[in-house]
Amino acid sequence: MPDRLKRPLCHASLILSALILTAGGCSSGTSDRDLQFVTSIEAMQILEEKTGVFGSTGDTVNVWLDPRTLKEYEAGHIPGAISLPFPEIEQGYESRLRSAASIVVYDSNWNDVIAVSASKRLMELGHSNVYTLKGGIEAWIADGQKVDTGAPTEAVEEQAGRQ
């Protein structure tokens, strides 16, 4: 085969090999199909469920998680929500969220990807009962639900497992 034909075939083979290796390395284990989206009413029902065998444990450890910035949290958050900004989830998971039976994650609105990213990250860390609030706090407010303002309280942090 002439050299001028070998070169394009060699380049094509290299490009094809690179594409195959790249496609194989893109799987992170979680995808949008793994997400469980819930409405504000469904989220409240999930978080009010008793934990333990057949709901025998009255002390539930179910949490709202706000992965937005602290400034956004302080401007308005779901009552009792834990503030854990997205970049800190991996470091704070073990001490603050591991004991939660269920976690409902929310962000600002319908187009905000922080809750989706945070939900996926929690699943990658091994948490199985992770839910994402459809529409974020914007939908929460539209459903007539209450919003608190201010910094996270000590009681909320204790609920999160922080001693």
For the segment 70-110, what is each residue's pLDDT rounded down to a tens digit? 999 999 999 999 999 999 999 999 989 988 999 999 999 99
| Tokens representing residue 80 in the block | 């009792």
Number of domains in the chain: 1
Residue 66 domain-assigned? Answer: yes
C-alpha span between 26 and 109 (Å, rounded): 28
Residue 132 domain-assigned? Answer: yes
Residue 151 domain-assigned? Answer: yes
In one letter, which amino acid is 61? V
- CATH number, domain of 115, equals 3.40.250.10
Residue 6 domain-assigned? Answer: no
Residue 25 has pLDDT above 90, yes or no: no
Q: What is the pLDDT of residue 85?
A: 97
Q: What is the pLDDT of residues 27-46, one digit of tens each?
A: 457 788 889 999 999 999 99
Residue 49 domain-assigned? Answer: yes
- Residue 99's domain comprises 32-159
Residue 18 domain-assigned? Answer: no
Task: Please give the model's pTM, rounded to 2 decimal places.
Answer: 0.75
Residue 1 domain-assigned? Answer: no
Q: What is the pLDDT of residues 117-144, one digit of tens each?
A: 999 999 999 998 999 999 999 999 999 9
3-state SS, the chain, equals CCHHHHHHHHHHHHHHHHHHHHHHHCCCCCCHHHCCEECHHHHHHHHHCCECHHHCECCCCEEEEECCCHHHHHHCECCCCEECCHHHHHHHHHHHCCCCCEEEECCCCCCCCHHHHHHHHHHHCCCCCEEEECCHHHHHHHCCCCCECCCCCHHHHHHCCCC
Residue 59 domain-assigned? Answer: yes
**Mean pLDDT of the region 56-60:** 52
